[in-house]
Amino acid sequence: MAALNEAVVRVGAVGICGSDLHWFGEGSIGDSSLTAPLVLGHEIAGTVEGGPLDGQVVAVDPAIPCGTCDTCRRELRHLCPEVRFAGHGSVDGGMRERMAWPSELLHPLPSALTAADGAMLEPLGVAIHAVDLGKLRPRAAVAVVGCGPIGLMIIQVARCHGADVVVAVDPLAHRRELALRLGAGSAADPEEAIGNLDVDVAFDVVGSPAAVEIAVGAARPGGRVVLVGIPDDDRTSFPAAAARRKGLTLLVSRRMAEVYPRAIDLVAEGAVDVRSIVSHRYKLDAAAEAFDTARRRLGHKVLIVPSG
């Protein structure tokens, strides 16, 4: 049963994120570990049942900040140290048929967008926030190291911000091919990219030391490197001499800021294509197979469809 300020959402689609793979495979992520069973999933959309929004398809903002701490008061709610986050720690996420969630964190979608589109808005928000941190100037040159779903959306958002050159870097051919279709001007295997790039902003969307090294090597003097990927062992390293010599600015991106309205508009206007990134859909009872597909990187975004 929903509390007074909550609504019941019949979950229509929920994406499997890299952080979900950490929880599922390791029982931990960063410095957080599970101490009890957890329902995963924070890329969520569905249909409201009952109340003022009855029948409305909504995207679910998975973050519930405290709203009262100094960080929240400084309008950095995505960095709230007391945040409760769907599918993280002790807060159950969206891989279930129904969930109760604060009504103010439900974003109604235009009629042309489906629940599957809505589930892609959280990772799109992560991409938007990362590009915001990059402070792209018109006609900027950009490298995106790692072309999973968020990397593919960073490519598109960077183009929307006027990036003139976008280079996609990924070891998997099918990811490089989709990156080209979605706006990258060129694509390279990591071995080919090292030492051959010279960009204003480089985005690491992997988190591995090799990916961070490529990003640092790709950035030109005075450039920016935005770290979006989550490292496996909670450690990030980079070639300090190169970063120092170039005077690089390194920024660490966490989740997303208040960008859901922008994400909705980008998809509704056709500026960002999220549907091409969805490669697999599984019913809830096939969740283990869905996670295996995502872990093996056989496609792009894997969705679980609990009520479809």
- Residue 72, pLDDT > 90, answer yes
Q: How far is CA 237 from CA 204, 213, 226, 252, in A?
A: 12, 8, 13, 13
- Is 204 found in the same domain as 281? no
**Residue 259, in any domain of the structure:** no
- Is 240 found in the same domain as 143? yes
Q: Render pLDDT for 170-197 as a digit per residue (tens, 0 to 9).
A: 999 999 999 999 999 988 888 887 667 8
- Is 235 found in the same domain as 128? yes
**Residue 265, in any domain of the structure:** no
- Residue 18, pLDDT > 90, answer no
Confidence bin at 284 (pLDDT 50/70/90) = very high
Report how many domains make up the chain: 2
**Residue 263, in any domain of the structure:** no
**Nearest residue to 198 via CA among 173, 162, 226, 222:** 222
- Is 242 found in the same domain as 131? yes
Domain CATH number, residue 180: 3.40.50.720
- Is 211 found in the same domain as 110? no
Q: How confident is the model over 102-127, as a mean pLDDT?
A: 96
- Residue 105, pLDDT > 70, answer yes
- Is 196 found in the same domain as 93? no
- Is 101 found in the same domain as 178? no
The predicted pLDDT at position 4 comes to: 55
CA–CA dist 17, 31 (Å, integer): 18
- Is 109 found in the same domain as 34? yes
Please provide the size of the chain in residues.
308
Query: Do 158 and 205 touch, CB atoms closer than 8 A?
Result: no
Confidence bin at 24 (pLDDT 50/70/90) = confident
**Residue 189, in any domain of the structure:** yes
Q: Render pLDDT for 190-232 as a digit per residue (tens, 0 to 9).
A: 888 766 789 999 999 998 999 999 999 999 999 999 999 988 7
Percent of the chain whose predicted confidence (pLDDT) is above 90: 77
**Residue 111, in any domain of the structure:** yes
- Is 98 found in the same domain as 16? yes
**Residue 183, in any domain of the structure:** yes
CA–CA dist 59, 112 (Å, integer): 13
- Is 141 found in the same domain as 221? yes
Q: How confident is the model over 129-152, as a mean pLDDT?
A: 95
The 3-state DSSP composition of the chain as helix, strand, coil percent (nearest 5) reads 35, 25, 40
The predicted pLDDT at position 237 comes to: 87
Strands 98-102 and 106-108: unpaired
The predicted pLDDT at position 3 comes to: 58
**Residue 269, in any domain of the structure:** no
Domain CATH number, residue 96: 3.90.180.10
The predicted pLDDT at position 282 comes to: 96
Confidence bin at 308 (pLDDT 50/70/90) = low
Phi, psi of 187 (to 5 degrees): -140, 145
- Residue 17, pLDDT > 70, answer yes
Write the DSSP string, 155-169: HHHHHHTT-SEEEEE
Q: Render pLDDT for 247-278 as a digit per residue (tens, 0 to 9).
A: 999 999 998 888 899 999 999 999 999 999 99
The boundaries of the domain holding residue 116 are 6-120+274-305
- Is 177 found in the same domain as 96? no
**Residue 136, in any domain of the structure:** yes
Write the CB contacts of 192 (distance below 8 Å, at least 6 apart in sequence). none
Query: Do 278 and 120 touch, CB atoms closer than 8 A?
Result: yes
Write the DSSP string, 11-73: EEEEEPPHHHHHHHHHSEETTEE-SS------EEEEEEESSTTTT-EEEEP-EE--SSSHHHH
Percent of the chain whose predicted confidence (pLDDT) is above 70: 97
- Is 170 found in the same domain as 76? no
Beta-bridged to residue 100, according to DSSP, are 8
